[in-house]
Chain A
Amino acid sequence: MSSVSKYFSGLFTGIKSLLTGMGETWKELWTKKVTQQYPENRDTLVISDRFRCELTMPHDENNEHACTSCGICQMNCPNGTIRVTSKTIETEDGKKKKILDTYNWDLGMCTFCNLCVLTCPSDAIKFENTFENAVFTRDKLKQQLNHEGSKMREKKKEVKPVEPKAE
């Protein structure tokens, strides 16, 4: 190919490719807008189930959770976000037992790595996709996950005591 014909073919293929590009953007101009207008679209907003926003400890209808206060989550947490405090009580049949006192989690320090959930032997905690976590002070980010007066769910349903005993 001589240099002259190369010059002109280069010119015309260049123009053609430019026009192709402009055609693409022209189509793009009329496509549906993908912007999510957040506060208005709260009702229709879909957040993926796997999105990790807030650590929760599911409680059932009897206000019972599955945490054995083993502390594995606390050990695995890279930031020291979780602090599990336990207390020892005496059960009805006289045995000493370690139960959960408080389960504290600091959202402000959490990197949402999911290690705590993965390593929990009793599946007591999980991440929810409730993402509206903004608060006005940092203290409010520190949450206690176990509910007031909750207790551990017994493995065997039949030995479940009716009344939680203090001391």
Chain B
Amino acid sequence: MSLNYSQPLEISNLTSWLDAALRGCLAEFWVLLIEFVLVAVVLLAAYAVIALILIYAERKITAFFQARFGPNRVGKWGLLQSVADMIKILLKEIIKINRSDRFLFFVAPFFMIVASMLTFGAVPFGKGLHAIDFNIGVLYVTAVSSLGIIGVLLAGWSSNNKYSMIGAMRSGAQFVSYELSAGFALMTIVVLAGTMQFSAMIEGQRYCWNIFNGHISSIIAFVIYLISGHAETNRGPFDLPEAESELTAGYHTEYSGLQFGFFYLAEYLNMFIIASIATTVFLGGYMPIQVHGWEGFNQIMTYIPTYIWFFGKTAVLIFLSLWVRWSFPRLRIDQLLNLEWKYLLPINLVNILLMVILVLTGLTLTDLFPGLF
């Protein structure tokens, strides 16, 4: 189903034109091949560019939270700082570690980056900008994102270093625990939306975002998802796998150059992916704000392209994540596991039951006020 309003600024106009042009002059097989390669190249480029922007934004916002200026020397307002850092990291030597398991040491960063790349592909950036749209989208995302932890564990093992090893073990325990909460929080919304497909989920949130639709239950699920997603990315108060005061840099202590860059990139992109999945599932994804019956308003809102809506909502969530990161001190490992197993998980289980009751008894907003939402 497509919107009935005119959308002059959509990229899908360009892509469908390109598709038609290719189909006009080439056979089906070659059209598909070219399009697959194009999609892959665009995704890889977007991956790198988003990481650069995120690194810049993070450093800048961090600085503002600490009453500093942040990077402001390279380019105007330091805009080229992360580009310079990227060039530096590409030029650095990849150090070989004595008595380490070379093969696993080499493979580990790829697990991280491939897992986050696979998840990245399933993110709906905008209308028609959606590389993978399985009918099990939510499940797919939780499944492939769990591959990253293997990279962390292997990196910790193969580095032949106690700090790396302890960092990897902590990271593993943390990830496995919080993966559970994140999955349950998403499942709560799957109950509400009645689908696992991202595109259908977004279409269902046209007039009422899921976070409002399931009121109490949705908000609890949203908060839990943000917390556990934040913990999964090993950031903020949950960054004890790489607690520099105890473990130097945790599992990536021994990595240098591009291999370290992979870990770094994956960490930032995981933050983006968590924010974008939360946007898609809870905040209506790329859907513009629309109200029943206000045709003029809806038209104006749809003039703003969908990808801007998506990135705007995601940026708000990323800011929230940074805000949390720079507000709270690091947790101890027992506090961390307490939070998950004693608070988040039981609340989550009750919450999913509550959501089922809400849906079955017709107490969601769309059921209560069918004309309004």
Contact = CB atoms under 8 A, between A and B. Distances in A.
- The reply, when asked whether chain A contacts chain B directly with Cβ atoms under 8 A, is yes
Interface of A: 11, 18, 21-22, 24-26, 28-29, 31-35, 37
Nearest to A19: B327
Interface stretch (B43-51, B65-73, B104-112, B278-286): B65-73
A31 B67 contact: yes
A107 to B, nearest CB: 28
Which of A22, A24, A25, A32 has the largest count of B CB atoms less than 10 A from its CB? A25
Contacts of B324: 22
A21 B68 contact: no
B323 interface: yes
Given A11-B343, A29-B64, A35 B327 contact: no
Given A25-B326, A26-B323, A32 B343 contact: no
Given A28-B67, A33-B69, A35-B67, 5 more contacts: A18-B328, A31-B67, A32-B67, A33-B64, A33-B68
Nearest to A21: B327
11 contacts: A18-B328, A21-B327, A22-B323, A25-B65, A25-B327, A29-B64, A29-B65, A32-B67, A33-B68, A35-B68, A35-B69
Nearest to A18: B328
A11 B65 CA distance: 27
B69 A37 contact: yes
A34 B328 CA distance: 22
Interface size class of chain B, counting residues whose CB lies under 8 Å from the partner chain: 10 to 19
Nearest to B327: A25
Contacts of A35: 67-69
A37 B68 CA distance: 10
Interface in B62-90: 64-69
A73 B314 CA distance: 66
A139 to B, nearest CB: 32
Given A21-B328, A22-B324, A28 B69 contact: no
Contacts of B328: 18, 21
Interface string B305-324: 00000000000000000011
Interface of B: 64-69, 323-324, 326-328, 343
A33 B67 contact: yes
A50 B323 CA distance: 39
A21 to B, nearest CB: 5
B263 to A, nearest CB: 27
Nearest to B339: A14
A104 B297 CA distance: 80
Contact of B327 (A11, A24, A37): A24
B168 to A, nearest CB: 28
Contacts of A29: 64-65
A102 B111 CA distance: 69
A11 B326 CA distance: 21
Nearest to B237: A18
A28 B62 CA distance: 11
B319 to A, nearest CB: 10
Nearest to A10: B343
Nearest to A32: B67
A13 to B, nearest CB: 13
A37 B347 CA distance: 49
A37 B73 CA distance: 11
A35 B68 CA distance: 5
B76 to A, nearest CB: 15
Contacts of A31: 67
B68 A34 contact: yes
A21 B327 CA distance: 6
A158 B68 CA distance: 59
Contacts of B323: 22, 25-26
A29 B326 CA distance: 10
A33 B62 CA distance: 12
Contacts of B69: 33, 35, 37
